């Protein structure tokens, strides 16, 4: 008992710092979301008017677009990341470290700079339209400022967040169970669907959660590559806080996104054995 009390006392400063830096701002946002619109006073009479504005002013439409784009990003990221992760774990594990470094290195560069690089490739007169112009019948193609360009940017920026959990998930696949299914006559497709994907489900769910949450709160991809084709929900929050100076409205929008994120985390954690997932170490080297 004495040792546990000593441990709590030693951890108390860290707990207080974490509360001040993380919990306290969230509590203030929740309190602000129930204040009168355009009010900076947290002592006013609580109201749900800001949440009513979410429906009356159509903010739910931008939320729907953000959720839709995030779901597409998760799906496409999985399609690209799973074969790559499978190859890194099962086919050429000796080069896993070098491949991981190559994939992670661009993440050290600002996402805005990398996205501006894509504008040079996709814009009218850019590299990709120039190459396609050599094909007879294809002229004046502009890939920029459309929804597919936004999805491309989202997958490019947040796809690696799907790859690394998948590596851990695929390592959890029991090779003996896979070989037994093959010996019993199961096709390669059946082995993938009925053996490998269920056993790697923890990594899949965790990677999907990371990609969905991070892409849900993004702004720059829609601004740089979308050009106003879609207004993301996070952009509405930014305008409410910075442009309109309507902190209660911005806080209510933030709370709505926070609730969606927490619900997803609770659902995913119900199916994911996080201790088992994090206990699976990649063979790097």
Q: What is the CATH number of the domain that holds 140?
A: 1.10.3720.10
Q: Given a cut of 90, is residue 131 above it in pLDDT? A: no
Residue 167 lies in a domain: yes
Residue 242 lies in a domain: yes
Lowest model confidence (mean pLDDT) among 105-109, 112-116, 277-281: 277-281
Going by pLDDT thresholds of 50, 70 and 90, the confidence category of residue 123 is: confident
Distance CA 183, CA 179 (A): 6
pLDDT on residue 284? 38
Average pLDDT over residues 136-161: 85
Count of other CB atoms within 10 angstroms of residue 29 = 18
185-229 pLDDT, tens digit each:
888 888 888 888 888 888 888 899 899 999 998 888 888 888 877
Distance CA 35, CA 44 (A): 6
DSSP calls for 166-233? HHHHHHTS-HHHHHHHHHTT--HHHHIIIIIHHHTHHHHHHHHHHHHHHHHT--HHIIIIITTSS--H
Q: CA 214 from chain center: how many Å?
A: 3
Burial class (CB in 10 A: 0-12, 13-18, 19+), 126: middle
Structure tokens at 175: 């090779």
Distance CA 230, CA 64 (A): 11
Structure tokens at 59: 């903010």
Burial class (CB in 10 A: 0-12, 13-18, 19+), 155: buried
Lowest model confidence (mean pLDDT) among 75-79, 137-141, 183-187, 240-244: 137-141
Q: Given a cut of 60, is residue 83 above it in pLDDT? A: yes
Residue 266 lies in a domain: yes
Q: Given a cut of 70, is residue 26 above it in pLDDT? A: yes
- Say if CB 284 and CB 93 are below 8 A apart: no
Average pLDDT over residues 143-152: 88
Q: Given a cut of 70, is residue 282 above it in pLDDT? A: no
Average pLDDT over residues 163-191: 84
257-273 pLDDT, tens digit each:
999 888 888 887 776 66
pLDDT on residue 81? 92
Residue 223 lies in a domain: yes
DSSP state of 89: I
Which residue matches tokens 């309109």?
Answer: 244
pLDDT on residue 1? 47
**Arithmetic mean of pLDDT over the chain:** 84
Return the higher-pLDDT residue of 271 and 165: 165
- Say if CB 169 and CB 207 are below 8 A apart: yes
Residue 19 lies in a domain: no
Structure tokens at 221: 């991809």
Q: Given a cut of 50, is residue 21 above it in pLDDT? A: yes
Distance CA 99, CA 85 (A): 10
Structure tokens at 1: 């008992």
- Say if CB 150 and CB 222 are below 8 A apart: yes
pLDDT on residue 200? 86
Residue 21 lies in a domain: no
- Say if CB 111 and CB 156 are below 8 A apart: no
How many domains are there within the chain? 1
| Domain region containing 275 | 59-279
């Amino acid at each position: 008992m004495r040792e546990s009390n000593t441990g709590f006392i030693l951890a108390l400063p860290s707990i207080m710092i974490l509360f001040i830096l993380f919990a306290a701002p969230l509590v203030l946002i929740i309190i602000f979301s129930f204040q009168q619109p355009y009010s900076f006073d947290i002592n006013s009479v609580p109201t749900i008017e800001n949440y009513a504005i979410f429906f009356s002013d159509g903010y739910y439409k931008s939320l729907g677009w953000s959720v839709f784009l995030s779901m597409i990003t998760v799906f496409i990221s999985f399609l690209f990341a799973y074969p790559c992760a499978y190859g890194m774990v099962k086919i050429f594990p000796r080069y896993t470290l070098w491949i991981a470094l190559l994939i992670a290195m661009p993440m050290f560069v600002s996402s805005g700079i990398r996205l501006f690089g894509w504008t040079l490739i996709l814009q009218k007169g850019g590299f990709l339209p120039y190459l396609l112009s050599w094909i007879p019948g294809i002229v004046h193609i502009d890939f920029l400022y459309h929804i597919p360009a936004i999805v491309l940017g989202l997958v490019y920026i947040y796809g690696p967040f799907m790859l690394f959990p998948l590596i851990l998930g695929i390592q959890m696949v029991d090779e003996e169970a896979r070989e037994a299914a093959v010996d019993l006559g199961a096709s390669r497709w059946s082995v993938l669907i009925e053996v490998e994907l269920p056993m790697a489900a923890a990594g899949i769910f965790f990677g999907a959660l990371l990609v969905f949450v991070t892409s849900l709160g993004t702004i720059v991809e829609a601004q740089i590559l979308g050009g106003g084709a879609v207004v993301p929900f996070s952009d509405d929050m930014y305008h409410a806080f910075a442009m309109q100076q309507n902190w209660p409205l911005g806080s209510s929008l933030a709370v709505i996104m926070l609730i969606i994120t927490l619900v997803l985390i609770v659902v995913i954690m119900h199916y994911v054995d996080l201790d088992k997932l994090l206990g699976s170490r990649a063979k790097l080297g």
